[in-house]
Amino acid sequence: MLHGHVAGWVGVGGPGEGPHGTNEWLQVGLSAFPGLTDSDLYYEVALPSRLPTYHRIASDVPDGRPFKVSVLEMHHRPDWWRVWLNHRPVSQPVRLPGSQGGWAPIATAESWDGGSGAACNTFLYRFRGVRIANAPGGGWYPLSGGYPIRSPGTRVRRSGAAFLAAEGQAALALLRSLTP
Q: Which amino acid is at 6?
A: V
State residue 67's pLDDT score. 93
State residue 82's pLDDT score. 97
Give the domain range for residue 114. Answer: 5-177
Q: Where are the beta strands (DSSP E) in the chain?
A: 5-14, 24-32, 39-46, 53-61, 69-73, 80-85, 88-89, 94-95, 106-112, 123-127, 131-135, 138-142, 154-159, 162-167
State residue 89's pLDDT score. 97
Which residue stretches of the chain are H helix? Answer: 169-177
**Would you say 130 and 70 are in contact if contact means Cβ atoms under 8 Å apart?**
no
CATH number of the domain encompassing residue 61: 2.60.120.700
> How many structural domains is the chain composed of?
1
State pTM to two decimals. Answer: 0.88
Residue 43 CA to residue 99 CA, distance in Å, equals: 18
State residue 179's pLDDT score. 60
Instruction: Give burial (CB, 10 Å; 0-12/13-18/19+) of 28.
Output: buried
Pairing of strands 162-167, 53-61: unpaired
Q: Which residues of the chain have pLDDT under 70?
A: 1-2, 179-180
